Amino acid sequence: MAAPRREDALDQWSRRHGGLDPRGSGWVAGWVRLSDACARPLARRGVAPDAVTAAGVAVAVTVPLLASAGAAWPLAAVPVMVAAAVLDGVDGALASRSGTSSRWGQVLDPLADRVSDLLLVLTVVVLGAPLWLGATYGALGLLHESVRSTAQAAGMGGPGAVTVAERPTRVIVAAFAALLCGLEWCAREVGVDVLPRVDGDVVATGAAVVGTALAVVGLVHLLAVVRRRLA
C-alpha cells in the first residue's frame, strides 16, 4: 500500500502546480515525498495547514537573527533554513492529505513564501552583502513571482516555466552564504587562512551576486514563456 500513497502524493502535488509532473526530477519527487511523509502524522492529529504555514514563517524569522549573531552562529542558521523550507512544502501536502484546502490558504501560502524569501535576502545582507545589492536581489525575486501570479490571473495554467530562480535556489544561495561565512570564521579561529583576502563580507557579496544573476536569468526566461503562452 505504500507505493500508491507515494504516487498519490506526486499526483496531488501535480494538481496543485498546474499539471507539472514532479517525476521529471528526482530531487523534486524526493522533496514531495518528504513533505508528504511529514504531513501524514500532522493530518492524523488534525493540525491545520495554516498553522504549519505560520510556523514556517516563524522559523524563517530566526534565520537572519542567527546569521547576524556573528562568530559561528551562521552555521546554526543553515539547518533552520532547511526546516523552514520543509515546512513550506508540508502545508500544501497537509491540505491535500486532509482535504482542508481553502481559498484563504491559497492566498496565505504565497504570502508566507514571499516573506520567507525576503528574510533569506536579509540573511545575505546581515552576513555582509551591500544593502543595495540585497535590495536588487530581493526586488528581482518579487518581480519573478509577480509576473507568474499576474500571468496566471490572465489565464495561464500552471507555473509557466520552472526557472533557475525558484524558491529552492533562493534557499541554496542563503544557505551557502551562511555555511561559508561560518566556516570562514571557524578556520580563522584555529589559525587557518584558506583565502587571506576573502572574509565573510566577500562571501556574502559573492552569494548575492550569484543570486541576482540567477534572478535576472530566471525572470527573462519566465517572461519569454509567459509572452508565448498568452500571445
Q: What is the pLDDT of residues 96-114, one digit of tens each?
A: 888 888 888 889 999 999 9
Distance CA 104, CA 172 (A): 29
Which range among 25-39, 155-169, 200-214 shows the weakest confidence by mean pLDDT?
25-39
pLDDT over 50 (residue 53): yes
- For a pLDDT cut of 90, what percent of the chain falls above it? 55
Distance CA 149, CA 153 (A): 6
* CATH match of 2-230 with 1.20.120.1760: yes
The rounded mean pLDDT for the chain is 88
In three-state secondary structure terms, 70 is: coil
What confidence tens digit (pLDDT) does each residue in 165-214 have? 988 899 999 999 999 999 988 988 887 776 666 788 899 999 999 999 99
- Report in angstroms the alpha-carbon separations of 165 from 172, 187, 191: 11, 31, 37
Helix axes 131-153, 103-126, angle to 10 degrees: 160
Nearest to 133 by CA among 212, 187, 192: 212
Output 69 or 7, whichever has higher pLDDT. 69
Distance CA 212, CA 61 (A): 22
Q: Looking at residue 195, what is its pLDDT? A: 64
Distance CA 68, CA 124 (A): 10
- For a pLDDT cut of 70, what percent of the chain falls above it? 91
Distance CA 41, CA 191 (A): 47
Q: Looking at residue 51, what is its pLDDT? A: 94
Distance CA 198, CA 27 (A): 32
* Grid cell in block for residue 130: 551591500
Nearest to 214 by CA among 122, 121, 126, 151: 121
pLDDT over 80 (residue 119): yes
User: What predicted TM-score, i.e. pTM, was given to this entire model?
Assistant: 0.89
